[in-house]
Amino acid sequence: MNNKIITTVTALLIFTATYSKENAKLVKSDINEVTVFLSGAQVTSVASISIPAGTTNIVFEGLSPYILNDNIQARGDADFTILSVVRKLNYLTENDMPKEIKVLTDSMESLQTKLDFQKQLREIYEQEEKMLLANKSIGGQNTGVNVAELEKAANLLRSRLTEIQLKTFESKQKEKKLQDQIYKINLQINEMNAKKLTSVSEVTVSVSAKMPVSGKLFISYLVSNAGWMPYYDIRAIDNNSPIKLEYKAKVWQNTGYDWDAVKLTLSTANPNQSNTQPNMLAWNIYLYDNYQYKDKSDSSSYGYTNSMPPSSSYEVEVDAKKEETKNVSSNTSSSFTTMVDNQVNTSFEINIPYTIPTDNKKYAVDIQTFSVPATYKYYCAPKIDKDAFLLAKITGWDKYNLMNGEANIFYEGVYVGKSFLNTRNTTDTLDISLGRDKNVVVTRIKLQEFCEKKVIGLTKKETITFEISVRNKKKQEIEILIEDQIPVSTNKDVEVELMESTGAKYDAVQGKLSWNYKLTTGENKKIKMSFSVKYPKDKVLSGF
């Protein structure tokens, strides 16, 4: 009885699904435009349609299962009216597997079949070996065996067992090779993130036409599992030339479908962020009873009465596949980028087709390239680090709409390392660290002959002297800022005195000493700094 009910229900479901399919117009669509946000993306798909007069349900099949229901829009370019837009998940239809993944999956299934065969063959050999060993007795308990028969039986047993052992060993070796191949293919499939989707989305657009019409129907929808982040290539030729700043993006997506030769736009907006303005409530303060607080044994009350309201508060970078275009004179998309700046966000429209596969990898997209005027200055804090760092100072940087991001630094044609571009800066000048320069040599040594400890009455006085040496080995004049420090007293019984500083700018609050110098080629500048600390002799200084 139960089987009949199940069969009837299944047949009814199949009939209903078939009926609904026959009364709807199924269309395959192509993704032609994508706007990628810092988190998420807006995808536009287009389908060519031909509809009769009246009302027709156009079903866009095989869409990403990661569509967000909040914002699905439809528009057309012909004389018909859009009545409604509805999205649902289809668990009965699976998305098409990419060709490369299908080849890998087929190979893995073939290898698994061979592996299963080898395991079964080895099991047969092992069972045969057990049978031979279990029946190796010759003759009965009361019956003897002549030497010729014994020798013949022993030779037969030895020969067969040897053959079985060799076959078993050979089978194990083949199993190991097959397992290694399967393991590598699995790694490759995982690397391509080609996990087959268990469902797809379908968007049904109900349209009405007064007469038969043909045209195009567009749907736009938000998807998760996508985004982009900015990064930069910063190139400085020398200390006298402008900086070449290449603004780039790392774009990734794992929506289940490749974005193939699409018009790509990068937006600094975040559609997942609330756009509702905050509402500032009254900031109420209260008095509490000291007596009541002292009598409270429960510390969790913190002295508040029961009538008081509780507080409340609310990383393989690879270049993206660029489609070939005719008569293109540039190798990067930055020459084809249009920046659209409005009051709340910035969009970068890439005017050449891009392909971003659905493999969760970060693809490099060129946005813009600037030649930025800069002044150069070295910085060194030899107490912390003996190397001198080259800084490029950029003014008027806010007009380039830069964002916080990692930067690859190239100086004099050589990659020198990574830095971080901090654009959350309210000053007019943006400092970019171009890395260490070994041609500016800085040393800091303690001059023992100028250091002493002595006791004067009830106090102890220590004098310490350092010498800082800066040598310019570069072929041009440089400007350098050198910083050091002396201790700052936090106790009235401890006195710190700056005794010598070679003309440094002194910040007494922080104890910081600063020197600014211009050094010609080969010039060596020496700086002496000396300070004393006086404190009670029966005390021990901390942090000194």
Q: What is the pLDDT of residues 480-505, one digit of tens each?
A: 999 999 999 888 889 999 999 999 99
Task: Convert the pLDDT of each residue in 429-456 to its tens digit.
Answer: 888 888 888 899 999 999 988 888 888 8
**What's the first-to-final CA gap in the chain, in angstroms?**
90
Measured CA distances, 154 to 22, 159, 259 (Å): 76, 8, 71
For the domain made up of 440-536, the CATH class stated in words is mainly beta
Which of 188, 175, 169, 167 is CA-nearest to residue 114?
175
Answer for the pair 50, 17: CB distance below 8 angstroms, yes or no.
no
Strands 259-267 and 30-36: parallel
Q: Does residue 11 surpass a pLDDT of 70?
A: no
Q: What is the DSSP string of 295-333?
A: H---GGGTT--TTSPPP------EEPEEPP-TT---SSG
Using DSSP, state whether 480 is helix, strand or coil: strand
Q: Does residue 233 surpass a pLDDT of 50?
A: yes
C-alpha to C-alpha distance for 167 and 126, rounded to whole angstroms:
10
Q: Which two tokens stand for residue 150?
A: 């014994």
Determine which helix (DSSP H) or strand (DSSP E) holds 216, and give its type and residue range: strand 213-223
Which of 75, 33, 82, 53 is CA-nearest to residue 354?
33
Name the band, by pLDDT with cuts 50, 70 and 90, for residue 420.
confident
Give the pLDDT mean for 267-281. 76
∠151-153-159 over CA atoms, to 5°?
100
Q: In terms of pLDDT, which residue wins out, 520 or 321?
A: 520
Measured CA distances, 216 to 56, 207, 266 (Å): 14, 12, 25
Name the band, by pLDDT with cuts 50, 70 and 90, for residue 100.
confident
Name the band, by pLDDT with cuts 50, 70 and 90, for residue 139.
low
Torsion from C-alpha of 355, 358, 363, 368, nearest 10 degrees: 50
Mean of the per-residue pLDDT values for the chain? 79
Which of 118, 124, 102, 109 is CA-nearest to residue 177?
118
C-alpha to C-alpha distance for 399 and 409, rounded to whole angstroms:
21
Task: Convert the pLDDT of each residue in 145-154 to its tens digit.
Answer: 566 666 777 7
Answer for the pair 350, 337: CB distance below 8 angstroms, yes or no.
yes
Which pLDDT score is estimated for 436?
A: 87
C-alpha to C-alpha distance for 323 and 261, rounded to whole angstroms:
6
b/e per residue, 360-392, with b = 16+ CB within 10 A? ebbbbbbbbbbebebebbbebbbeeeebbbbbb
C-alpha to C-alpha distance for 118 and 127, rounded to whole angstroms:
14
Task: Convert the pLDDT of each residue in 291-311 to its tens digit.
Answer: 444 444 444 333 333 333 333
What HEC string does 443-468 produce? EEEECHHHCEEEEECCEEEEEEEEEE
Name the band, by pLDDT with cuts 50, 70 and 90, for residue 246.
very high
Which pLDDT score is estimated for 306?
A: 36
Amino acid present at 18: T
Answer for the pair 353, 365: CB distance below 8 angstroms, yes or no.
no
Answer for the pair 268, 36: CB distance below 8 angstroms, yes or no.
no
Residues whose CB falls within 8 Å of the CB of residue 448, separated by 6 or more in sequence, listed in order: none
Q: Does residue 407 surpass a pLDDT of 60?
A: yes
How much of the chain, in percent, has pLDDT values that exceed 70? 76
C-alpha to C-alpha distance for 66 and 195, rounded to whole angstroms:
14
∠283-287-288 over CA atoms, to 5°?
130
Q: Does residue 104 surpass a pLDDT of 60?
A: yes
Give the pLDDT mean for 271-293. 65
Task: Convert the pLDDT of each residue in 164-207 to its tens digit.
Answer: 888 888 888 888 888 888 888 888 777 665 455 557 888 999 99
Q: In terms of pLDDT, which residue wins out, 265 or 24?
A: 265
Number of other residues whose CB lies within 10 A of the CB of residue 201: 23
Which pLDDT score is estimated for 298?
A: 43
Task: Convert the pLDDT of each residue in 32-71 to its tens digit.
Answer: 999 999 999 999 999 999 999 999 999 998 888 899 877 8
Amino acid present at 134: A
C-alpha to C-alpha distance for 343 and 407, rounded to whole angstroms:
27
Map tokens 């040594």 to a residue: 445
Amino acid present at 5: I
Number of other residues whose CB lies within 10 A of the CB of residue 171: 20
| pTM recorded for the entire structure | 0.62
Map tokens 């050198």 to a residue: 482
